[in-house]
Structure 1
Amino acid sequence: MRLFLHKLFHWEYWPFQVLYIPVYFQWLYFAFRSRSFFYFNACNPSLQNGGFFMESKKSIYDLIPSQYYPQTVLISENTSWENLEIKFKNSPLQFPLIAKPDIGLRGASVKKILNCQELKSYHEKANFDFLLQECIPYENEIGLFYVRYPQEKQGRITGIVAKEFLSIVGDGKSSIATLLAQNPRFAIQLPVLQKEYGSQLDAILPLGESQTLVPIGNHARGAKFLDYSDRITPELTQTFDGICRQIDGFYFGRLDIMFDNWIDLAKGQQFKIVELNGAASEPTHIYDPRHSLFFAWKELFRHQKMMFEISRLNHKKGHSFLSFKKGMEQYRLHQQHSLKIFAS
């Protein structure tokens, strides 16, 4: 009951379908104006479906200059364990590493892999194409939302979200599970963490010792999102506008970035782009607990309007919208893929 009430009175935990009810009406209005339910396909012409669904992460990485993203290896669904071992040994990767679906779903099935046994276990359960990726040594992670209209010479950063991973600090007396249960944000994750860590959650951490249980900056996995949009500077904007303009056909989306420090980041140094998300990107700075529901709706409306305007401009340049038949086909494939990931 305590967790139920916490979710009820903190809108950041509301189901996606509920939070977006007002946004759906705006989407219908834009769909009517563009004569297409799937107008967003033209938002980022180089991304599958504009980056709204069924987009391959590997195909997106291939659009980004290699110095900006982690070493990554694609493992096809039908790859045998023997061939995976060969591919891994011939790659520059080493443990620990990150495994994640090539077509992702809000952080589902993303896992830190520490050794060969864990990699084999992940491979046995995965019934989808997945990526093996080097662990980034930087401790800081942000989501940086970038927008550029096709006719503009320079884009802009419309929001920055910082991410606090799910970490606990020992008191020398309580088990990890007990400490998790004391924080509603973490307690919500307990069933998943118990499945992943088992009896390890019974351990008692020494006083002051910190342990990160989910090294992934995903809201659905317990990370806390903080609005750092006040960190947007002309230097940072110029740096990432220059980077994003090197990604052909990318106009609208969020870069998830791990970095060492803000000074180097603004200079374009000591960072890696962990994810590039297209038309389905959320301005995730809205999930800062300090923000109201009305602030969230305002930002969602603002960003969807920009996506619509960019899509229409690209459409005028010859980039087609998805037909209703093709769009529904892609949506059904997305639903089927989602079931596969959650079943793994």
Structure 2
Amino acid sequence: MSWQDRSPLLIYPLLIPHIASLCIRYKTTPAIIAKANPLFPFGGLPFASKHQMIKNFKKVIPYTIIRASSPEYKRLSRARRFASKYKYPIILKPDTGHRGVDIRLLKNQKELDSAILDQRWDYIIQEYNDYPEEFGIFYYREPGMRAGKIISITRKEIPILEGDGKRTIKEIIENSNAIVPVKQGSALLEVEIVANQLRGKYWLK
């Protein structure tokens, strides 16, 4: 099991000693972390509410929040109204979450009702974004600056691996020197597959 699949209760407490050492070094309190993004609760840390963050933006994909504390019939009614307006499939995800944990693509009312009836925390239901590409943008603005800067753009894509007809996918991946064709649209790219046993994952280099 890699670290992405482990409980956050096992991961994030490890940050506490590091944060404490920085607070001592710079003679401040942990509250300084939240000042990095003053409009975001807790500075946008993983336990912050997505709803509280994205409501500050003028243009966002349509969404609604379903409170776990609301009566069951109200939750179902609100979720169904949203799905009726924006059509299936729709996206459901925890209001406080990270690393893609518990994000679901709901394809029909049966799946929606099941998710809502089993609800344990606040959910965000969002219109499905079917754009062909996704990018992560790192933006920052220092105090006093009228406009910020984009310092990195990351294109997110899932590679498609094509075998050689002889070996299993596992055998190809475990050979760190293997060169296999990867489909990207109609083109074929030559990439090197590298096994990273420390994280239990395999990556395309």
Cα separation, partners in 2 of 1:34 and 1:152, compared to 1, 3 Å:
farther
Contact 1:28 1:37 in 2 (8 A): no
Contact 2:44 2:53 in 1 (8 A): no
Q: Distance in 2 between matches of 1:168 and 1:89?
A: 38
The one-letter code sitting in structure 1 at the alignment partner of 2:105 is K
Contact 1:40 1:50 in 2 (8 A): yes
Higher strand share: 2
**Paired residue for 1:73?**
64
SS of 1:90's partner is helix
Moved more, 131-140 or 77-86: 77-86
Contact 2:80 2:109 in 1 (8 A): no
Contact 2:136 2:155 in 1 (8 A): yes
Q: Distance in 2 between matches of 1:46 and 1:122?
A: 30
Contact 1:102 1:131 in 2 (8 A): yes
Whichever of the two has the greater Rg, that structure is 2
TM-score for the superposition, normalised by structure 1: 0.41
Higher helix share: 1
Larger RCO of the pair (alpha carbons < 8 Å, separation 6+): 1
Please, what is the CA RMSD of the aligned residues? 3.9
Contact 2:50 2:95 in 1 (8 A): yes
SS of 1:38's partner is helix
Q: What are the superposed Cα offsets for residues 27-49 of structure 1, whole Å, 9 maximum, x if unpaired?
A: 73355214213311222222111
Pick from 79, 82, 86: which aligns with 2:73?
Answer: 82
TM-score for the superposition, normalised by structure 2: 0.66
**Percentage of identical aligned residues:** 22
1:60 matched to 2:59? The reply is no
Alpha-carbon shift at residue 130 of structure 1 (Å): 0.3
Q: Distance in 2 between matches of 1:82 and 1:26?
A: 43
Alpha-carbon shift at residue 184 of structure 1 (Å): 5.6
Contact 1:95 1:115 in 2 (8 A): yes
Cα separation, partners in 2 of 1:159 and 1:102, compared to 1, 3 Å:
same
Contact 1:40 1:49 in 2 (8 A): yes
- For structure 2, the residue ranges without an aligned partner over 5 or more in a row are 175-182, 186-202
SS of 1:88's partner is helix
Pick from 95, 107, 125: which aligns with 1:102?
Answer: 95
The one-letter code sitting in structure 2 at the alignment partner of 1:124 is L
Cα separation, partners in 2 of 1:50 and 1:121, compared to 1, 3 Å:
same
Pick from 138, 145, 155: which aligns with 2:148?
Answer: 155
Q: Distance in 1 between matches of 2:32 and 2:173?
A: 39
Pick from 104, 123, 127: which aligns with 2:120?
Answer: 127
1:43 matched to 2:43? The reply is no
